Structure 1
Amino acid sequence: MTVRVDVEPALLQWAVDRAGWDAETAERRAPKLGAWMAGDVQPTLKQLESFAQATHAPFGLLFLSEPPVENIPIPDMRTIGNARLRRPSADLLDTIYLCQSRQDWYHGWAQEIGLDEVAFVGSATTQTAPHLVAAQIRDVLHFDLQGRSAFASWEEALRRLIDRIEGIGVLVMVSGIVGSNSHRKLAPEEFRGFALADPYAPLIFVNGADTKAAQIFTLIHELAHLSLGSSALSDAAMTATSGPEEELWCNQVAAEVLVPLTALRADYRGTVAEGELERLARQYRVSTLVVLRRIHDAGFLTRDVYWKHFTEERARVIKLLAGRRSNEGGGNYYHTQPLRLSRRFAQAVLNSTLEGSTTYRDAYKLLGTKKQSTFENLADELGVA
């Protein structure tokens, strides 16, 4: 006997909107959706389960009388003025929930083995001058201008920054997908990153689908949020001139960490030609986009002129990076997974499991794997015996 289910059309539409499907995608992924919503026929239980899985909607919620209100579980700093943002996607929500779950585990583990609280978290307020916090960050991370000369490029600077931020006790996760699902790609247009404050397990997530140029700025921006002891979902847009006070303050800190204005004013040669931008980018080990922003901050470019050059340079950088990616292939899973998980977090889970404190079942869930061979190979990659 076929069991059919009575579902409110508004719930079906909620699931479609939450998944970010357009009309064409809905027709392709759920051909009978129109008939269900029109009331011409009811879905079978199996069809509804498949629909929930395809839209990443919690199956039980489809039996409600009206769509639930899903609030983002951390302060949303993307709101500008009174502008209303669209409903958060399933991909964004699931990414935050996954990181919160990992953070909860790490918090308990850190307390269990007697780790100290991370002193950097909550060490500043928005009343603290951004240049003072920036100087503190450069000092803590050993990221002063002289030390950067050891990095071959700003791409390498990003990788080393991640290592150094993890070195002070912060979990850094950089990924362009939800968990380990390569079919669920994150949209930089929705968010660039977020910070989850915690005394034992502060966490930064950077949207790896964004350009590397944006990622290095987002990384420091989210670190600034942690210095305030606050969680936040961020735009972290270098071009932002309005928005929540905390978000603008974090932008100022990030920009000053990467390119101190005092140094730039002495180094700048008075032109925004490509050669000059590249020279300064090499000197500071940042992207040309960050350089352009700081030239504007230093008062050398008006807002309109800056925006014109930024738009042109961003298009050039995206084209250049796209060409590089097309020649790189898919990459090695065991090289990328520690970056997605946080090397510090993954090593903790692996060690705890091998010591018998965490079950393999829980470890597989935390690490996003289903195979013992993957677990073992990841342990080898991270040097966990």
Structure 2
Amino acid sequence: MKESVPVNSEVLRWARVSMNLSLEEVATRMKRGVQEIEDWERGRAFPSYVQLETLAYKIYKRPLALFFFPHPPEEGTIEQSFRTLPEYQLQRIPSRMHFLLRKATVLQLNLAELHDGANPATRGILHDLDFSPSIAADRMAEEVRDYLGIELSEQQDWRGTDDALEHWRNALEECGVFVFKDSFNPQGKKKPNAGDSPFSGFCLYHREFPVIYVNNNKPKSRQIFTLFHELAHLLMHTGGVDTRQDDYIEHLTGDDKRIEILCNRFAAEFLVPTRDFQIHSSGVIIDDHAIENLERRYWVSRETILRRLLDQGRVGREYYERKARQWRDERKGGDRGGGNYYRTKGIYLGERYIETVFNHYHRGRISVGQVADYLDVKTKNVPGMEEWLFERGARA
């Protein structure tokens, strides 16, 4: 008989009720008896780890770690988290996004536990900077760049988009913004495919533990844009989502519309400042070669460069949309590698978060089982995660 896992029975019942499922429906999907499911929810028995995985991922659509919480969490709704989106756009959000939103919420709760309710960063960008939705994007970009302390010349000296993404992620985390990544592909699609999801990322506002969640299936250059689109949302004290389906903006009104327009403009202005861009694009014949040169100057996506050219009137809307479609098609069927499990987990969670978890473990504050819960891995994979962390430190 497989070993049972002592989960919180109250959370098990809460997860079922929140999905509007009956005991009978869960029993049918688990191929178990109704009495056994009820026993799990009353704490008279526990599921095995494999059974818990089925409940968590396939039936309740929630992170595994949640079932070890002392109490059911207070989950925000999609509407509360992404209040700037209109109703019809909210209805487009797929189940995978709902799952990732719950996962991000669990990570926020983990952060609060690990750091005793206080952000560990020595300074907090959300505390120190304050903007209104009516601020000019260029002024906001200048203030944020000054705060981060990264000159444009330093950005241009980085070795490529991988290097740039790592620098930007570190810069935001040093200022109190937590960055996590994941696959936004539908469950079961293991291989990256940039065309699978129109969503590039989202953020959850919290005064102490703001989170940016990035779609790791997107090109690194697009991930960089997402970081700053979502940072703008956080600086407006609201959650948000980055999607290429931006037709919804015309349906927004008031501050919601101003914020969404500002987030796009800020990200573009921050990464590709207008004055510098005008100097280096002036008199240049716009073709693929010129766009690639400008892309490598700022380490952003070709779409971002093309959008700047569109805003300047250097290219037309038809050309912009045609090239954007072409590049998306080219990316389909790109990187199909399966990758290394520990490396992927490490990239998703980030070194800072993983190091914090292991620091707590080695100080005797948490057990190896709790380490597994915080990292959302099986206990047998904990040593491999620590080995990955050591290897990263040795290469640094």
| TM band (smaller chain) | 0.7 to 0.9
The answer on 1:275 being equivalent to 2:259 is no
Is 2:121–2:175's contact at 8 Å kept on the other side of the alignment? no
Query: In structure 2, how many angstroms separate the alpha carbons of the residues matched to 1:238 and 1:280?
Result: 24
The answer on 1:83 being equivalent to 2:88 is yes
- TM (normalized to structure 2)? 0.71
SS, match of residue 234 in structure 2: helix
Name which of 367, 373, 377 aligns with 2:383: 373
Q: CA deviation at 1:289?
A: 1.0
Matches for 1:17-166 after TM superposition, within 5 Å: 46-49=27-30, 53=55, 56-58=58-60, 71-72=77-78, 74-76=80-82, 79-80=85-86, 83=88, 85-86=90-91, 88-111=93-116, 115=120, 118-121=123-126, 123=129, 124-166=131-173
Name which of 285, 294, 314 aligns with 2:324: 314
1:342 counterpart residue number: 350
Query: In structure 2, how many angstroms separate the alpha carbons of the residues matched to 1:314 and 1:339?
Result: 27
Question: How many residue pairs get matched?
Answer: 331
Name which of 257, 279, 285 aligns with 1:266: 279
Q: CA deviation at 1:294?
A: 0.8
Is 2:201–2:215's contact at 8 Å kept on the other side of the alignment? yes
Query: In structure 2, how many angstroms separate the alpha carbons of the residues matched to 1:213 and 1:292?
Result: 13
Which one has the bigger helix percentage? 2
Q: CA deviation at 1:192?
A: 2.3
Residues 165 and 176 of structure 1: is their aligned pair in 2 closer, same or farther, counting only changes over 3 Å?
same
Query: In structure 2, how many angstroms separate the alpha carbons of the residues matched to 1:283 and 1:314?
Result: 19
Could you tell me which runs of 5 or more consecutive residues in structure 1 were left unpaired when the two chains were aligned: 1-14, 16-42, 60-69
Residues 336 and 44 of structure 1: is their aligned pair in 2 closer, same or farther, counting only changes over 3 Å?
closer
RMSD across aligned positions (CA) = 3.8
Query: In structure 1, how many angstroms separate the alpha carbons of the residues matched to 2:164 and 2:119?
Result: 31
The answer on 1:191 being equivalent to 2:199 is yes
Of 226-235 and 187-196, the range deviating more from structure 2: 187-196
Query: In structure 1, how many angstroms separate the alpha carbons of the residues matched to 2:242 and 2:341?
Result: 28
Is 2:181–2:347's contact at 8 Å kept on the other side of the alignment? yes
Instruction: Name the amino acid aligned to 2:30.
Output: E
Residues 172 and 116 of structure 1: is their aligned pair in 2 closer, same or farther, counting only changes over 3 Å?
closer
Deviations 1:88-133 (A, max 9, x none): 4332222111111111221233346883575211522213222122
Deviations 1:206-234 (A, max 9, x none): 11223334322111101111222222234
- TM (normalized to structure 1)? 0.72
Query: In structure 2, how many angstroms separate the alpha carbons of the residues matched to 1:350 and 1:296?
Result: 48
Query: In structure 2, how many angstroms separate the alpha carbons of the residues matched to 1:295 and 1:104?
Result: 42
1:31 counterpart residue number: none
The answer on 1:359 being equivalent to 2:367 is yes
The answer on 1:175 being equivalent to 2:182 is yes
Query: In structure 1, how many angstroms separate the alpha carbons of the residues matched to 2:118 and 2:391?
Result: 24
Query: In structure 2, how many angstroms separate the alpha carbons of the residues matched to 1:316 and 1:178?
Result: 21
SS, match of residue 86 in structure 1: helix
Residues 141 and 181 of structure 1: is their aligned pair in 2 closer, same or farther, counting only changes over 3 Å?
farther
Deviations 1:155-196 (A, max 9, x none): 432232122222222211121158998759898635321112
Is 1:255–1:294's contact at 8 Å kept on the other side of the alignment? yes
Is 1:154–1:286's contact at 8 Å kept on the other side of the alignment? yes
Is 2:183–2:216's contact at 8 Å kept on the other side of the alignment? yes
2:300 counterpart residue number: 286
Residues 351 and 184 of structure 1: is their aligned pair in 2 closer, same or farther, counting only changes over 3 Å?
farther
Residues 177 and 276 of structure 1: is their aligned pair in 2 closer, same or farther, counting only changes over 3 Å?
closer
2:313 counterpart residue number: 299
Residues 229 and 279 of structure 1: is their aligned pair in 2 closer, same or farther, counting only changes over 3 Å?
same
SS, match of residue 146 in structure 1: helix
Of 118-127 and 311-320, the range deviating more from structure 2: 311-320
1:25 counterpart residue number: none
SS, match of residue 290 in structure 1: helix
Percent identity reads 23
Query: In structure 2, how many angstroms separate the alpha carbons of the residues matched to 1:356 and 1:299?
Result: 61
Could you tell me which runs of 5 or more consecutive residues in structure 2 were left unpaired when the two chains were aligned: 1-18, 33-53, 62-75
Residues 166 and 55 of structure 1: is their aligned pair in 2 closer, same or farther, counting only changes over 3 Å?
closer
Deviations 1:25-76 (A, max 9, x none): xxxxxxxxxxxxxxxxxx88643325985983339xxxxxxxxxx9416432
Residues 71 and 167 of structure 1: is their aligned pair in 2 closer, same or farther, counting only changes over 3 Å?
closer
Q: CA deviation at 1:147?
A: 0.9
